[in-house]
Amino acid sequence: MITDEAGLRAVIGEPIPLVTGKIAPRLNELTRPFIERSPFVCVATASPDGGLDVSPRGDPAGFVRILDDRRLLLPDRPGNKIADTLTNLLADPRIALLFLIPGVGDSFRVNGTATIVDDPELLASCEVDGRVPKLGILVTVEEAYTQCSKALIRSDLWNPERHIDRSELPSGGEILKRLSDPTLDVDEYEKERAARYARREGLY
């Protein structure tokens, strides 16, 4: 078992200056497009009891607004109302973002702090389908840098020939029935949810 950094470094070695030098305290004209072209971001936060959360967020590309080279605005869309990300930020402002762009191997990482905002004027630029979000996450950038393509190459993530048919996995309704409500009519639940999504109901 490896229990300290000295032991870890003995196995993996030290990063070269070229790599550590790419970690910047702000965005620039070369890194901004990784946010502007991304339709999907994973958001990591920490809870006061020591727990961690990673939540997916997605919208049309560029949905995370770049306000300036140190500030981002992430709209909060309707969800399941558990609100792990938001409740965590109330107690601990630290946040980490991982941006993905379909078909592109490099990802983009942002670490910093965040606050929850409800300013209608600020959020107006996040309107989609005529709906303006009630809340947003205002991120102050502390670190911003690209992540190399190795993970996406190994996973072959963007290869459509490797995509899995959803029917090969348990449905959301089946999981809810097992864990939350044994009386749930799975077929009816799935039918109603598919109809809501087809109408884009509840997305915005």
pLDDT tens column, 96-138:
999 999 999 999 999 999 999 999 999 999 999 999 999 999 9
Tell me what percent of the residues of the chain surpass a pLDDT of 90. 97
Measure the CA–CA gap between 137 and 127, rounded to whole angstroms: 15
- Dihedral of CA atoms 16, 22, 23, 25 in degrees, nearest 10, equals 150
Average pLDDT, the chain: 96
Give domain status of residue 134, yes or no. Answer: yes
Alpha-carbon distances, residue 145 vs 24, 25, 149 (angstroms)? 6, 9, 13
Range of the domain at 177: 164-198
pLDDT tens column, 53-80:
999 999 999 999 999 999 999 999 999 9
Same-domain status, 134 and 177: no
- pLDDT higher than threshold 90 for residue 48: no
Measure the CA–CA gap between 191 and 185, rounded to whole angstroms: 10
Q: Give the angle 80-83-86 at the CA atoms, nearest 5°.
A: 150
**pTM for the structure as a whole:** 0.94
pLDDT of residue 10: 97
- pLDDT higher than threshold 90 for residue 31: yes
Same-domain status, 179 and 92: no
| CATH number, position 32 | 2.30.110.10
For the beta sheet containing 135-147, the strands, ordered from the edge strand earlier in sequence to the opposite edge, are 52-58, 40-46, 94-100, 107-117, 135-147, 71-76, 65-68
Phi, psi of 26 (to 5 degrees): -160, 170
